[in-house]
């Protein structure tokens, strides 16, 4: 999906909306559904927020295919010696498959209507530009229609959206007029919906999730919103469907997670989380207790500042036993910085593949300045971790750990599940901040588990890392070179 930061969904309604060819396909199609001069009497601007960064899937140069390795999909079959063969996810020089993200195509129906909502209006209104509805309670979402809340207005939520659009006739929800983004104080709940786009809102103050996608909702596009100061920023429930796009949102200051996926399997129709800024949330930047999630080109920073055990990107598969989730996800080209360990724990990691997870791909991410490891695999198997850049992590600002490393492979020595096996760790660039921080650390339980570690480049920012050599050598990849060590 190509993103052009100069292109926006801004229109003087009496004129035809024009977008450049570099606008995302779904955005161009959404724009084609906007009314022309003959269909609107309003002279105010209609705004559907456009993506604002330039990350492209073409930059990644890989093919994504997601499929469950077994019908159970519970990560229980983790004994293979070859993660590259056993993994249900494959890499090849191409772009991410087009079906990885939802799209809107075709023309809107001829009966398309634009419905206006102004919560500050004194009269209930009829939904026209001249007499907008004064509340969303008067609104019924119809496939192909556009629903716009007036800029600068405040709605006390929750706002419950239930609308079943189609690929040919999506439902578009945005803003009209000039001024600040319309505010929803409380949750926006997207329920039993399909092919619905939500764009350009300021969502704040919910004791639950700022935006919740649930009850079978699928092919939902959430783009260009500011989601802050809620309990959780964006929540995908266990009964959410796949094919969603969460792109170019700012998600900050939420008490728990920035983004959370709760026990949901999207492998048949992956959900894409791309180009979001996720910062200063109390716990994880993103919690992925799910399958089939693609996390691409996001910026995570300052997360975990109030809840111990947090990571910037956290993939999780169960408590005490596998719950069937945390498998077959793709994490590519994200930056993760300044993650905190708020207590006396061992976390504050950049990326953590946590217990009972398997077959995840972690490629070309950059982790720096985190309290914990840049990347840690903890009772996680058959993952591919390649070409990541880990620099100056293991800050340990609470002075709570006895050992520190940039990249860790370990298992829980209390329960001793000993599941960190058959992982491929290759081509990573690792720069510990000093001689007290190991480049790669493999614990005793994990040392004989056929993890393949090879061709990583490790050099200290200061001091000598030669003593770290003892922590490498579980099972080099055949034909791969030794890891590179330097002062």
Q: How long is the chain?
A: 487
Alpha-carbon distance of 38 to 352, in angstroms, equals: 54
From the list 354, 346, 258, 255, the residue with the least C-alpha distance to 299 is: 258
From the list 401, 260, 388, the residue with the least C-alpha distance to 336 is: 388
pLDDT band at 460 (very low <50, low <70, confident <90, very high): low
pLDDT in tens, 168-201: 999 999 999 999 999 999 999 999 999 999 999 9
Please answer whether residues 365 and 336 qualify as being in contact, where contact means their C-beta atoms are separated by less than 8 angstroms: yes
Alpha-carbon distance of 407 to 166, in angstroms, equals: 45
pLDDT for the residue 243: 98
Cα separation values, 410 from 145, 152, 237, 385, 445, Å: 52, 51, 30, 15, 7
pLDDT in tens, 130-154: 999 999 999 999 999 999 999 999 9
Mean pLDDT of the chain, nearest integer = 77
Q: What is the DSSP string of 205-256?
A: --SSEEEEEETT-EEEEEES-EEESSSEEEEE-TT--S--EEES-EEE--SS
pLDDT band at 344 (very low <50, low <70, confident <90, very high): confident
CB atoms within 10 A of CB 94: 12
pLDDT for the residue 307: 93
From the list 217, 170, 140, the residue with the least C-alpha distance to 30 is: 170
pLDDT for the residue 401: 61
Please answer whether residues 49 and 27 qualify as being in contact, where contact means their C-beta atoms are separated by less than 8 angstroms: no
pLDDT for the residue 80: 35
pLDDT in tens, 250-305: 999 999 999 999 999 999 999 999 999 999 999 999 999 999 999 999 999 999 99
pLDDT in tens, 196-255: 999 999 999 999 999 999 999 999 999 999 999 999 999 999 999 999 999 999 999 999
pLDDT for the residue 400: 64
Maximum average pLDDT range among 218-227, 304-313, 338-347, 429-438: 218-227
Residues 6+ apart with CB under 8 A from 110: none
CB atoms within 10 A of CB 417: 16
pLDDT for the residue 412: 84
Maximum average pLDDT range among 91-105, 321-335, 343-357, 391-405: 321-335
- 482 versus 420: the higher-pLDDT residue is 420
Cα separation values, 401 from 431, 436, 458, Å: 19, 12, 22
- 453 versus 385: the higher-pLDDT residue is 385
Alpha-carbon distance of 67 to 69, in angstroms, equals: 6
pLDDT band at 437 (very low <50, low <70, confident <90, very high): confident
From the list 312, 341, 464, the residue with the least C-alpha distance to 399 is: 341
Please answer whether residues 311 and 347 qualify as being in contact, where contact means their C-beta atoms are separated by less than 8 angstroms: yes
pLDDT in tens, 56-87: 333 333 334 443 333 333 333 333 334 433 33
Residues 6+ apart with CB under 8 A from 362: 331, 332, 351, 353, 375, 383, 384, 385, 386, 388
| Domain boundaries, given as residue ranges, for the chain | 93-100+184-486
Considering all CA atoms of the chain, what is the largest pairwise distance in Å, rounded to the nearest integer?
Answer: 75
CA atoms within 13 A on the CB side of 306: 11
> With respect to CATH, is domain 93-100+184-486 assigned 2.160.20.10?
yes
pLDDT for the residue 416: 62
Cα separation values, 126 from 12, 46, 96, 136, 433, Å: 22, 18, 44, 12, 63
- Which stretches does DSSP call E strand in 269-310? 271-274, 277-279, 286-291, 293-296, 299-301
From the list 181, 136, 134, 179, the residue with the least C-alpha distance to 157 is: 136
pLDDT for the residue 109: 55
Percent of the chain whose predicted confidence (pLDDT) is above 70:
70
The answer to pTM > 0.95 is no
């Amino acid at each position: 999906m190509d993103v052009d930061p100069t292109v926006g969904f801004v229109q003087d309604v009496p004129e035809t909306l024009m977008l450049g060819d570099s606008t995302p396909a779904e955005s161009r199609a959404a724009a084609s559904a906007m009314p022309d001069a003959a269909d609107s009497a309003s002279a105010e601007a209609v705004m559907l927020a456009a993506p604002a960064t330039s990350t492209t899937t073409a930059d990644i140069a890989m093919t994504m295919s997601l499929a469950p390795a077994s019908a159970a999909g519970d990560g229980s079959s983790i004994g293979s010696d070859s993660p590259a063969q056993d993994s249900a996810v494959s890499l090849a020089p191409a772009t991410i498959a087009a079906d990885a993200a939802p799209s809107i195509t075709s023309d809107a129906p001829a009966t398309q209507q634009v419905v206006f909502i102004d919560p500050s209006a004194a009269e209930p209104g009829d939904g026209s530009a001249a007499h907008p509805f004064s509340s969303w309670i008067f609104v019924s979402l119809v496939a192909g229609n556009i629903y716009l809340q007036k800029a600068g207005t405040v709605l006390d939520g929750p706002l419950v959206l239930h609308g079943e659009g189609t690929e040919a006739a999506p439902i578009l929800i945005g803003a009209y007029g000039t001024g600040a983004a319309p505010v929803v104080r409380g949750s926006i709940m997207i329920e039993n919906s399909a092919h619905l786009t939500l764009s350009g809102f300021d969502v704040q103050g919910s004791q639950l999730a700022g935006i919740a996608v649930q009850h079978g909702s699928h092919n939902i596009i959430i783009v260009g919103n500011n989601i802050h100061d809620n309990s959780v920023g964006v929540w995908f429930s266990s009964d959410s469907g796949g094919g969603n796009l969460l792109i170019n949102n700012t998600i900050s200051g939420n008490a728990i997670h920035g983004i959370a996926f709760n026990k949901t399997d999207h492998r048949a129709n992956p959900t894409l989380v791309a180009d979001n800024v996720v910062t200063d949330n109390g716990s994880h930047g993103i919690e992925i207790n799910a399958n089939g999630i693609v996390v691409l080109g996001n910026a995570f920073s300052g997360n975990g500042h109030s809840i111990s055990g947090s990571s910037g990107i956290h993939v999780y598969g169960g408590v005490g036993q596998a719950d069937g989730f945390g498998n077959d996800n793709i994490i590519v080209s994200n930056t993760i910085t300044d993650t905190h360990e708020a207590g006396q724990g061992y976390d504050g990691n950049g990326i953590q593949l946590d217990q009972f997870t398997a077959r995840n791909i972690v490629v070309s991410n950059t982790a720096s300045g985190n309290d914990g490891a840049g990347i840690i695999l903890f009772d996680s198997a058959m993952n591919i971790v390649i070409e990541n850049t880990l620099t100056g992590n293991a800050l340990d600002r609470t002075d709570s750990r006895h050992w520190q490393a940039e990249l860790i492979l370990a298992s829980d020595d209390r329960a001793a599940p000993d599941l960190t096996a058959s992982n491929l760790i290759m081509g990573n660039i690792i720069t510990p901040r000093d001689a007290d921080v190991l480049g790669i650390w493999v614990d005793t339980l994990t040392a004989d588990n056929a993890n393949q570690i090879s061709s990583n480049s490790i050099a200290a920012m200061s001091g000598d890392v030669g003593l770290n050599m003892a922590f490498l050598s579980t099972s080099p990849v055949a034909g791969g070179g030794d890891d590179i060590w330097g002062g």
